[in-house]
Amino acid sequence: MSQPVVHITKLNLKYQHKPVLKDLNWTINRSENWLLCGASGSGKTTLAKAMAGIGHSYSNIEINFNQQSSLPAIVYYVANWFQFKDLEGQSNFYYQQRYNKQSTETTATVKAELESFGKKHSLSFNEADKVLNALGFSKLKTATLIQLSSGEHKKLQLVKALWLKPQLLILDLPYNGLDVLSRKNLNTLLQEISDEGTQLILISNETELPGCINRIAKIEQGKLVEISADERTWNDTETHHKPVPSFLNETVVNTSSEEIIRMINVNISYGEKQVLKNINWEVKAGEKWVLHGHNGSGKSTLLSLICGDHPQAYANDFHLFGNKRGSGESIWEIKERIGLISPELHWYFDPSATVWQSIVSGFYDSSGLFCDPGYSKKAQTDELIHYFGLDDYKNTLMNELPLGKQRLALLARTIVKNPELLILDEPCQGLDQQQTLHFNKLVDELCKNGTTLIYVGHFESQIPGCIEKRILLENGEVNSVEILHKKPILTKN
């Protein structure tokens, strides 16, 4: 009988000094491809990093590679976040930096990053083309790393892993940030490398998986428990039935105009590359929109205009809260009326702030807290901490939290000032199913009080029920605008 590929016995691990894995046992035999699912913060990522030998090696984790295989005898781990450095070795980027021309000149291109990876692992660059094409990434070879959206960064890391074809591949939340077609193509590619001998461990709560996944497990109370596909269904019995914090029940008063956004023939270009082309869009106060589009369609750029982060807003016919951009308002006057969360904001957020500091910083649109907020702001922050179940983490640093709890803290930060306009760009990345249900119910409650909403999400099942209208971007242009459940009211010819 052949040795198991992975054999773990009585593994005990802590995350930030707190026990998460307790006498965990796990055996992975050849030809087994596993899905590791379950609640946020249960220890899935901690286990994955331990198996990949990141930071430390463990004597009770035994990896047995196939010495007859031509595939690299390594465990390759793809994290949910990709931390890159500029050409000078610095990694302390800030949120608006991706729109700064000078910054794009000091970060490597996608092609240079891939060439460096290929050289390190003795890979032929030509062999990457199939993966690049399948994930719709070929056109981004000349883009710099800082210009990529979160979904594009995810694709870059997946390209590397699929190109490498290691004997054991661990993917942490591989579908986060990917559009529908990219997810489908990723599953096809994962099936293909599985057929060639790569064994997979996917950390995910998604349901559409490659056919090669034949074992499922979750971590409960620090131990690994194998389950069936039917047992993956989460019930809503534990969904928080706490009352919405009182200050969020206040009706949002629009102090300027019934028109929140008006764009007339808006165009955005970087050199010869046109990212947005002739965008016409009007959002009235109290409307609830979903913004759809494939990775690279221009969604992030469009949102950056609205939030005041993109310098080319002033060169376009663009009105926000009834005022033409560039008519005298400051970026901070704009931001005080907007609540924003996005994968990019999370990526660049100050990880050294505590949960409490991070949430209260939403009043000031800062990354971290730099002043005494006063009694009422402190009280609202405490209400949200309790509502999101973060009481035990109030004074914990953000970088000491599991990803899902970091995201909950940033969601609380987004709504702490009960803003006129909520922009939620894939807000539930990293959340488990119960947390997603909980948050979307809260969004539905907020939007009863006159809040204007723009929600970005790739799947209908993951968006709030209050959504009324949809705008679809395709290659930087408006493909369609429609009232949901009705015929399109505007369609691109």
pLDDT of residue 323: 82
CA–CA dist 223, 24 (Å, integer):
5
CATH 3.40.470.10 is the classification of domain 246-491 = no
pLDDT of residue 98: 52
What would the two tokens of residue 187 be? 């599953």
Enclosing H/E stretch for 324:
strand 323-324
What would the two tokens of residue 197 be? 């001998």
Instruction: Return all residues near 379 (Cβ < 8 A) that are at least 6 apart.
Output: none
Alpha helices, H only, 209-330: 299-306
Task: Give residue limits of the domains in the chain.
Answer: 6-232, 246-491
CB atoms within 10 A of CB 265: 11
pLDDT of residue 372: 83
pLDDT of residue 236: 46
215 burial level (CB within 10 Å; 0-12, 13-18, 19+): middle
CA–CA dist 28, 146 (Å, integer):
38
Q: Are β-strands 288-293 and 452-456 bridged in parallel, bridged antiparallel, or unpaired? A: parallel
Contact 212, 328 (CB under 8 A): no
CA–CA dist 426, 414 (Å, integer):
13
Helices (H) and strands (E) in the chain, counts: 13, 20
The widest CA-to-CA distance across the chain, in whole angstroms, is: 76
Q: Which residue has the tokens 């054999």?
A: 7
Contact 230, 48 (CB under 8 A): no
CA–CA dist 194, 17 (Å, integer):
36
Taking each helix axis from N to C end, the angle separating 403-415 and 433-446, rounded to the nearest 10 degrees, works out to 0
CA–CA dist 156, 148 (Å, integer):
9
The pLDDT tens digits of the residues spanning 202-249 come to: 999 888 899 999 999 999 999 999 998 777 765 544 455 678 888 888
The residue among 266, 284, 264 whose CA lies nearest residue 275 is 266
CA–CA dist 140, 148 (Å, integer):
9
E strands along 75-198, which residues?
75-78, 168-172
What would the two tokens of residue 399 be? 């970088």
pLDDT of residue 234: 52
Residue 369's φ and ψ, nearest 5 degrees, are -115, 135
pLDDT of residue 12: 94
**Coil, strand, or helix at residue 30?**
coil
Q: How many residues does the chain have?
A: 493
pLDDT of residue 176: 86
CATH number of 6-232: 3.40.50.300
CA–CA dist 153, 147 (Å, integer):
9
Ranges of the chain with pLDDT below 70? 1, 82-106, 233-241, 252-256, 313, 326-328, 368, 460-461, 485-493
Percentage of residues in the chain having pLDDT higher than 70: 88
| Identical fold, 6-232 and 246-491 | yes
SS (H, E, C) 55-83: CCCCCCEEECCCCCCCCCCCEEEECCCCC
Contact 435, 428 (CB under 8 A): yes
CA–CA dist 11, 3 (Å, integer):
19
pLDDT of residue 445: 85
pLDDT of residue 105: 59
pLDDT of residue 446: 83
pLDDT of residue 492: 56
